[in-house]
Structure 1
Amino acid sequence: MSASPASVVVVVMGVSGTGKSTVGALLAAALRVPYAEGDAFHSPANVAKMAAGTPLDDADRGPWLDAIGAWARSRAGRGGVVSCSALKRSYRDRLRAAAPGLFFLHLTGDRALISERLAARTDHFMPVSLQDSQFAALEHLQPGERGATVSVAREPQAVVERAVAALRAQHAGPALRA
């Protein structure tokens, strides 16, 4: 691998409720790089739309993805971690166009686990009612996409350890499974 894990910008992706914020913050701390909460890049209109139970469409997501891409570009070569659902390949392509070399950490879990986590959240605007739309839009990492898929059925620190191992082993292939 030509770059250390701490010099890579990691996008922690997955459906709502997988723990992107928790894992992202822990991963950033482990790598000693800045963390950016993807939800903070949403416009107030997007937040209101989701809070009302209406899924975002591609037009809603465009400016949000561009803002995340700009942040990632600003961290190129210096590393960083940002949470972003990045559910579709086209969204990930847009982020890569803004900041080549991104590493996508896809957090996955079964629907029952994710539903349980969503139902337990009290401090987030995303309602459980949007879970189905998230799973319907989700396109898993595909060949040629630099990243790793990690199950969230483990404790967050174990997820982070697998993520760091995947970053270190990224030369082994474009899409690793952990």
Structure 2
Amino acid sequence: MSATCLVVMGVSGAGKTTIARRLADELGWPLAEADEFHPPDNIRKMSAGVPLTDDDRIPWLEALRDWITERAETGESTIVSCSALKRAYRDLLRGARARVRFVHLAGDAPLIMERLSVRSDHFMPPSLLDSQFADLEPLAGDEDGVVVDLGQEPDQIVESALTGLALRAPER
């Protein structure tokens, strides 16, 4: 496997999309925003403040895994912004035909709630943050990835992730 996929993970409001975009720009890899892979029923549920079940998430994660595989089969490395809260979800993503690595953006609930309270462009309401933290299973020692403190500035987060994963941007 020569292709790599970096999954930028964490609870809603952790800054996954922002950091994933910066990593994609830095590495020159295409980006997929996992929210765009949700079926309409999932979006309706979350918009109504109803947490998704594992059964709701499986087809969504399978579509994302397949997107990673399609690109990896052409040798293309990718970046994905995805909550990937549970080990089982990450295991499913690791089923892609790429080296799937994780960047867990970790922070405490008050900081993330502060960020969510000023965000108006997302279907995930702040009321679901508690359910996200309840589902969160931090990266285990045997998982390929790094945990990065989201309390840092975005440039520092990107640098910490690249250093922790021993990745460097291509020379331009």
TM-score (norm 1): 0.89
Match of 1:85 in 2: 83
User: Mind listing any 5+ residue stretches in structure 2 that lack a counterpart?
Assistant: 168-172
Instruction: Quote the RMSD (CA, aligned, Å).
Output: 1.4
Does structure 2 retain, via aligned residues, the 8 Å contact 1:33–1:80?
Answer: yes
Runs of 4+ that moved beyond 4 A: none
Residue 165 in 1 paired to residue 170 in 2?
A: no
Does structure 2 retain, via aligned residues, the 8 Å contact 1:11–1:103?
Answer: yes
- What aligned pairs does 1:15-94 form with structure 2 within 5 A after superposition? 15-76=11-72, 77-94=75-92
For residue 70 of structure 2, what is the amino acid of its counterpart?
S
Counterpart-to-counterpart distance in 1, 2:113 and 2:135: 16
Match of 1:176 in 2: none
C-alpha distance after superposition, 1:105-140 (max 9, x if no partner): 100111110000011100000001000000000000
Shift of 1:100: 4.5
For residue 64 of structure 1, what is the amino acid of its counterpart?
W
Counterpart-to-counterpart distance in 2, 1:37 and 1:68: 9
Counterpart-to-counterpart distance in 2, 1:103 and 1:113: 25
Counterpart-to-counterpart distance in 2, 1:167 and 1:71: 22
In terms of mean alpha carbon deviation, does 106-115 or 160-169 score higher? 160-169
Match of 2:170 in 1: none
C-alpha distance after superposition, 1:52-100 (max 9, x if no partner): 0000000100110001101111232421101110000000011112345
Counterpart-to-counterpart distance in 2, 1:11 and 1:66: 14
Identity, % of aligned pairs? 53
Residue 150 in 1 paired to residue 151 in 2?
A: no
C-alpha distance after superposition, 1:5-41 (max 9, x if no partner): xx42100100000000000011010000101111000
Residue 81 of structure 1 aligns to a residue whose secondary structure is: strand
Residue 12 in 1 paired to residue 5 in 2?
A: no
TM-score (norm 2): 0.92
In terms of mean alpha carbon deviation, does 14-23 or 91-100 score higher? 91-100
Does structure 2 retain, via aligned residues, the 8 Å contact 1:9–1:75?
Answer: no
Counterpart-to-counterpart distance in 2, 1:36 and 1:14: 15
Residue 124 in 1 paired to residue 122 in 2?
A: yes
